[in-house]
Structure 1
Amino acid sequence: MMDRYSSSSSALPLLGRRSMLKVMLAGAGVAALPGLAACGGGSDSGASSTSVSFGNNLSDQVPKDAITAAVKGFEKNSGGLTVAVNTKQHEQYQEQINNYLQGKPDDVLAWFAGYRMRFFADKGLTGDLSELWGKVGSSYSDALKQASTGSDGKQYFVPFTQYPWGLFYRKSVWQEKGYAAPKTLDELVALCTKMKTDGLIPIAFAQKQGWPGMGTFDQINFRTNGYQFHVDLLAGKEDWQDKRVKDVFDTWKRLLPFHQENALGREWQEAAQSLQQKKSGMYLLGSFVGQQFPDAEKDDIDFFPFPEINPQHGTDTVEAPIDGYMMAKKPANKDGAIKLLEYLSTAEPQLAYLKADPTAVATNSGAKTDGYNALQKKAAQVIKEAKHITQFLDRDTDPGFASEAATNGLIAFIKNPDDIDSVLKGMADQAKNIFK
């Protein structure tokens, strides 16, 4: 997902969305791009058997420090194995991963569960972890195993952390103003109207990085049309010009006046800071919003799932992306890679990571939650109670559709919400070409 760890301060140039599409869909044999593809330790790289290379996409300082802390725990008990951490700016990592995997990737590499994992597993670009899952599978739920399984029924992914999306707010502000979490769309509109009267931006919003609005679309779509329609639409099985999709954008158009203005020029970190600074009343994002709050204020963060739109579906679906790790198809140090992945599947490194970045929850079912803060306990509860879990639009669909049609379509809608029909026609035409 192009989301939670995209750095606002990176000096690395980002590829355009059309360039990104070309990179992600490039065929085998395409020359590797500089940076990511060059950092790996492929099978002929001469890597030491006492070292494991680790491709890290957590480039913001907080999560970067967190995963470093987790990896250090492995080195202490690995019998002499060391880990060479290769960190790349988050969006660059995603834009270049296709060529990266076809070149000399690191032995173990960060990625996402679900469709995005299967996309590369189906192309034969990642290593089979089924044997490892035979050892560690009892520590994971069936849903997590399913999200780690390729189209061939084999496992190619080890879950590490998970985090929910919802509407986040500061408890102190809401207590002062007397606000209550809305249960329905109409109640949400009424709350936004009251916030405006009180001088607050009702909903913080940023779309400069291209992906945040995908979360808004997801929430409104599965609340309006249900989980199955949502996943079928993203899999190319439903028509983007269907009236049900237009209903989603009509609802969003109703809410758009309550969103922070000039979103196309703002990164998610800046929008989160407006919430932290008590300028905004809510922010629809993942729980990583807490990364923009100082430690002393983290207990002031709370959230609620997006309210009900269609009583038929209620609030039974929660967006809760799963982050974790894959293995290269031919790792330079396969034994070391398996040992590192087995370690990352345990509760110890997951909890070590969460000490540095307490905005997500562990995926290992044996991880003790007594050290969780209030936000993490709420997150774990919401995920556990959900009937359906989605990953996020750009994880639940073809990467070409996400990076081109969805990104450009949502930007076009935000620029001109009165032109929904043209936006949906463009998305539908591109979907027909991609999902042949």
Structure 2
Amino acid sequence: MSRRSLLRGAAISAGAVTLPSLLAACGGGPGGDGKTVTLGSNASDAVPKTAFQSAFDAYQKQSGKTVKVNTVDHNTFQENINRYLQGSPDDVFMWFAGNRMQFFAEKGLLTDISDVWSGFKGFSDALKAQSTGHDGKQYFVPYYYYPWAVFHRKSLFQQHGYEPPKTFDQYTALAKQMQKDGLTPIAFGDKDGWPAMGTFDYINLRANGYDFHASLMAGKEAWTDPKVKQVFDLWRSLMPYHQKGANGRTWEEAGQSLQQRKTGMAVFGLPHPGTQFPEAEHADLDFFPFPEIDPAHGQDSVEAPIDGFLMSKKAKNKDAARNFLTYLATPVAEDSYLASDPNNVGVNSGASTAKYTELQKKSAVLVAGAQHISQFLDRDTRPDFASTVMIPALQTFINKPDDIDGLLNSIERQKKSIFAAAD
């Protein structure tokens, strides 16, 4: 599954995105028959779309109810989520945990499902926390997660005798060697606006630690802080080893370059390279944790976004929706999905790992061993700040990595305005 695009129209005041008829057509319609639940889906890629349908088919067979799926491509869904929820949304829709859920809960666009959550089993306290709004109520049903790391081909590393680096200096040295060997070291595409956030987050987490990262995302730290400048300085030192023209390249194209052996590594989430590799080549895909920068923080943090389901405030069939969400929280529902999609990891402790690929097993170990788990920049901060400030800022940095002071001054000015307005 593609990692989401940001909601460029997240803030109502932005008013920059026109709701396309495609998304406007989604929704439960007037009334409800009690037997049909409508679902707004952003799973337009073939693999997750098929996997979700397997889970929905199993529910329909078990319950005798009908799930009407309204699928919209990723970018369209994310870019218009705010207007979608204020219009005629579906009963249930796919979205993200943490801040991205809390944002819409605070706006009164979600239905409290604490009553449903009270019967859930197999979810950790950490998962419950990521499903809980600032008001202490639950709004989100977690379904799966996937870690971000540095992906590569096993065979390519074996061919050239490369060793997975553990430190930033080793990472840089490996990139230099790849360049000498005729490879573009790091696959990179940021046309969609969000992929570069993964690299920023990891450099920040490794250089400054999770607490500073979380505080920066919450608007409590200055972007002009020398710690943030260090992040961009370190990233700038890596730019000569990234694919050129990243702002004109999609993440899919970057993933394809890795599959085609044109590039040596890529900072991705688990689903991204997996969907660009033929099934026969999945066993050749591997990853290593983003390298250590400051030994005080080591590699103790992992980006592992959680995806799942929510009920819209305007749901027409709330009883049917609650019944559906109860099913989606079961190990059986996760097993039905993961049987067709090896690019994610189930969150319910009762979900079966018997059919996990080596990469899924390695992902589960990576996350289980982390001291801190972040949700990705666009989920850990305000959506409007991520979309209206950080997307253009990071794309500007990619084009002009030498004016770091000017860039950070601009980010800080805009941050103060956005976060002050929210207080």
TM range (shorter): over 0.9
Matched residue, 1:9: none
Matched residue, 2:364: 380
Q: Distance in 1 between matches of 2:333 and 2:200?
A: 33
Q: Does 1:38 align with 2:25?
A: yes
Letter in 2 for 1:331: A
Matched residue, 1:155: 138
Q: CA deviation at 1:356?
A: 1.9
Which residue of the other structure, out of 116, 127, 149, is the alignment partner of 1:166? 149
Letter in 2 for 1:177: H
Matched residue, 1:401: 385
Q: Distance in 1 between matches of 2:91 and 2:190?
A: 33
Q: CA deviation at 1:344?
A: 0.8
Q: CA deviation at 1:46?
A: 2.8
Matched residue, 2:278: 294
State the identity %.
55
8 Å contact kept, 2:47–2:340:
yes
SS in 1 for 2:335: helix
Letter in 1 for 2:314: K
Matched residue, 1:4: 3
Matched residue, 1:180: 163
Matched residue, 1:142: 125
Matched residue, 1:269: 252
8 Å contact kept, 2:31–2:317:
no
Q: CA deviation at 1:63?
A: 1.3
Matched residue, 1:54: 39
Per-residue CA shift, 1:79-103, capped at 9, x if unaligned?
x200000001111111111111112
Q: Distance in 2 between matches of 1:5 and 1:270?
A: 16
- Which segments of 5 or more consecutive residues in structure 2 lack a partner in the other structure? none
8 Å contact kept, 1:117–1:150:
yes
Compared CA separation, residues 149 and 176, structure 1 to 2 (3 A): same
Q: Distance in 1 between matches of 2:365 and 2:324?
A: 29
Matched residue, 1:190: 173
Which residue of the other structure, out of 72, 75, 81, is the alignment partner of 2:57? 72
8 Å contact kept, 1:170–1:301:
yes
Which residue of the other structure, out of 219, 222, 226, is the alignment partner of 2:205? 222
Which residue of the other structure, out of 309, 313, 316, is the alignment partner of 2:297? 313
Q: CA deviation at 1:31?
A: 9.6
Which residue of the other structure, out of 71, 75, 85, is the alignment partner of 1:91? 75
Per-residue CA shift, 1:344-367, capped at 9, x if unaligned?
111122122122221110011111
Q: CA deviation at 1:330?
A: 3.4
SS in 1 for 2:292: coil
Q: Which moved more, 1:163-172 or 1:99-108?
A: 99-108
Q: Distance in 2 between matches of 1:91 and 1:242?
A: 33
Per-residue CA shift, 1:291-324, capped at 9, x if unaligned?
1111111011110110100111111100000000
8 Å contact kept, 1:160–1:323:
yes
Letter in 2 for 1:391: Q
Q: CA deviation at 1:328?
A: 1.2
8 Å contact kept, 1:40–1:105:
yes
SS in 2 for 1:386: coil
Q: CA deviation at 1:32?
A: 6.2
Q: Distance in 2 between matches of 1:209 and 1:302?
A: 24
Per-residue CA shift, 1:364-391, capped at 9, x if unaligned?
1111212100110011110111110001
Letter in 2 for 1:410: L
- 1:310-389 mapped onto 2 (5 Å cutoff): 310-389=294-373
Matched residue, 2:412: 428
Per-residue CA shift, 1:210-229, capped at 9, x if unaligned?
11001110000010000011
Letter in 1 for 2:357: N
Matched residue, 1:26: 12
Q: Distance in 1 between matches of 2:332 and 2:185?
A: 39
8 Å contact kept, 2:214–2:380:
yes
Q: Distance in 1 between matches of 2:76 and 2:216?
A: 27
8 Å contact kept, 1:51–1:84:
yes
- Which segments of 5 or more consecutive residues in structure 1 lack a partner in the other structure? 7-16
Taking structure 1 as the reference length, what is the TM-score of the superposition?
A: 0.93
Q: CA deviation at 1:76?
A: 0.6
Q: Distance in 2 between matches of 1:233 and 1:326?
A: 27
Q: Distance in 2 between matches of 1:315 and 1:326?
A: 32
Q: CA deviation at 1:64?
A: 1.2
8 Å contact kept, 2:94–2:308:
yes
Matched residue, 1:208: 191
SS in 2 for 1:381: helix
8 Å contact kept, 2:110–2:312:
yes
Matched residue, 1:63: 48
8 Å contact kept, 1:276–1:293:
yes
Q: Distance in 1 between matches of 2:373 and 2:24?
A: 32
Q: CA deviation at 1:3?
A: 5.2
8 Å contact kept, 1:317–1:389:
yes
Compared CA separation, residues 26 and 257, structure 1 to 2 (3 A): same
Taking structure 2 as the reference length, what is the TM-score of the superposition?
A: 0.96
